[in-house]
Amino acid sequence: MPSPLLQARDTARQFSDRFARSAATARGVHLPTADFPEWLAERGRVNAFRVDRIPLARLDGWSFQETTGNLMHRSGRFFTIEGLHVTERDGPYGDGPYADWHQPVIKQPEVGILGILVKEFDGVLHFLMQAKMEPGNPNLLQLSPTVQATRSNYTKAHRGADVKYIEHFVGPGRGRIVADVLQSEHGSWFYRKSNRNMIVEAVGDVPLLDDFCWLTLGQIAELLHRDNVVNMDSRTVLSCLPVAPTASSALHCDADLLSWITGERARHDVHAERVPLAGLPGWRRHDMAIEHEDGRYFTVVAVAVQAGNREVTSWTQPLFEPVGLGVTAFLTRTFDGIPHVLVHARVEGGFLDTVELGPTVQYTPGNYAHLPDKERPLFLDTVLEVPPDRIRYEAVHSEEGGRFLNAESRYLVVDADEREAPLDPPPGYAWVTPDQLTWLVRHGHYLNVQARTLLACLNATLAGRR
């Protein structure tokens, strides 16, 4: 670049080569992967942490508002739990089913930062990860991004308070931007929530604080193959890595893929309206939970938390607890040598823009067990019945432990054949390459959070093989 003022527009390639090297490096300079479980366990011992279920009435500082029945904190901060009424009118040409449902939903309008700091040691990029307790995690302690900060956190931080390492992500001294994009969170549980997903390369020295460790991408890939180690916030940030494309072709050119997404958005006529939580049709409030009258979907519960390593050492809060283990999977096929995954254009009531691309399968099977065969979700049985030799990836991961209790899903990537997953799939489904997912995830609201987890897992299955 001969100019002192200008930069090359495309920096992804420079980064992607360096990330490939990190992915191929199974041994980090700071902590061998074999020692990781003991390191994490030690962080758990140092930071005592206890979570107990309590009756909703024992929530401290939280209350159900008189007229709406919405659950909110007296400070007006954190989040509220309200009602949502979703209607989807009939299909594009008047031939689809009419859907209409009510549900509780979490409203948390502020945009937080999920950020991973990276830095080169011995010529290899390492990722600064944090052992972080979240009350909803089944094992409490998981590996989180360097920074997980709400807006109140980091604007306060700007005035001198302490979100550790936040200065690398905002303000004049921040590092070199690798990725920075607003991504949606769970559209079935949150109302239009998005967080800023950031990857930043540090400038200068970075002190290593307690509860943090530097890991290569190869190490993280190995941990992504274990159950409940890499938390959701880490997975979504990792999905935004500029991985180098492996092929220049695909079943659908990019213009056709964008057109398909646009068409899916245009054909779904969805309206989501916030309504009072009180009297929400189909939902009942008991001492210990708000639950659906059929016992399906999820419940709203309360917990009391006692922790050592948090700014506030004890608190109570509501959490959403899904009913049963989810199954979240990409079916995959290779066409003319190029692997593809089958994405599903999903409507979730809380999405900002109607539809995002989700995995082939994203269901809690128990919610559908009562349905007759022909109404069962497409592709679900294929995933449930797949023989082990066709599973390319499998691990149990949990969703955001700050809002969701024991929200575990089995994440899979499963080989399929023409009979199970045809080249010409049903409406609402399309075959895309992982390269195309990486291209889309640079922008917000294309991939839902479950698809982003699977993209991070797909990349992890390739780590070390480059």
CA distance linking residue 159 with residue 125, whole number of Å: 31
CB of 243 to its own copies, least distance (A): 14
CB of 464 to its own copies, least distance (A): 26
Q: In what helix (H) or strand (E) does residue 236 lie, and over which residues does it extend? A: helix 232-239
CA distance linking residue 326 with residue 322, whole number of Å: 9
263: CB partners within 8 A, 6+ apart: none
Question: What DSSP line would sit under 143-180, residue for residue?
Answer: EE-SEEE-HHHHHHHHTT---TTGGGTSSTT--EEEEE
Which CB, 110 or 381, lies closer to its own copies?
110
Amino acid of residue 388: P
Interaction site with its own copies (CB under 8 A): 1, 3-12, 92-94, 109-111, 113, 151, 155, 158-159, 170, 177-182, 196, 198, 248-256, 258-259, 262-263, 265-266, 269, 271, 335-338, 352-353, 423, 433, 435-436, 442-445
Q: Is 228 helix (H, G, I), strand (E, B) or coil?
A: coil
Which CB, 161 or 371, lies closer to its own copies?
161
CA distance linking residue 229 with residue 56, whole number of Å: 29
Which CB, 53 or 73, lies closer to its own copies?
73
Q: In what helix (H) or strand (E) does residue 319 lie, and over which residues does it extend? A: strand 314-322
Which CB, 382 or 436, lies closer to its own copies?
436
Closest to 103 in 3D by CA, of 289, 271, 294, 298: 298
Pairing of strands 298-307, 338-347: unpaired
Which CB, 27 or 442, lies closer to its own copies?
442
b/e sequence 3-13, b meaning 16+ C-beta within 10 Å: eeeeeeeeebe
CB of 6 to its own copies, least distance (A): 4
Going from the C-alpha of 4 to that of each of 1, 8, 146, 203, the distances in angstroms are 8, 11, 33, 20
Which CB, 362 or 436, lies closer to its own copies?
436
Which CB, 18 or 43, lies closer to its own copies?
18
CB of 425 to its own copies, least distance (A): 14
Closest to 23 in 3D by CA, of 241, 209, 210, 276: 241
Q: Is 127 helix (H, G, I), strand (E, B) or coil?
A: strand
Cβ neighbours, 10 Å, residue 354: 21
| 271 token code pair | 């309206």
Which CB, 61 or 109, lies closer to its own copies?
109
CB of 215 to its own copies, least distance (A): 23
CB of 447 to its own copies, least distance (A): 13
Contact 386, 303 (CB under 8 A): no
Tokens 């199970």, residue? 420
Which CB, 289 or 352, lies closer to its own copies?
352
Closest to 238 in 3D by CA, of 148, 145, 147: 145
CB of 315 to its own copies, least distance (A): 24
CB of 424 to its own copies, least distance (A): 11
Which CB, 132 or 192, lies closer to its own copies?
192
CB of 297 to its own copies, least distance (A): 27
Which CB, 74 or 159, lies closer to its own copies?
159
Amino acid of residue 212: F
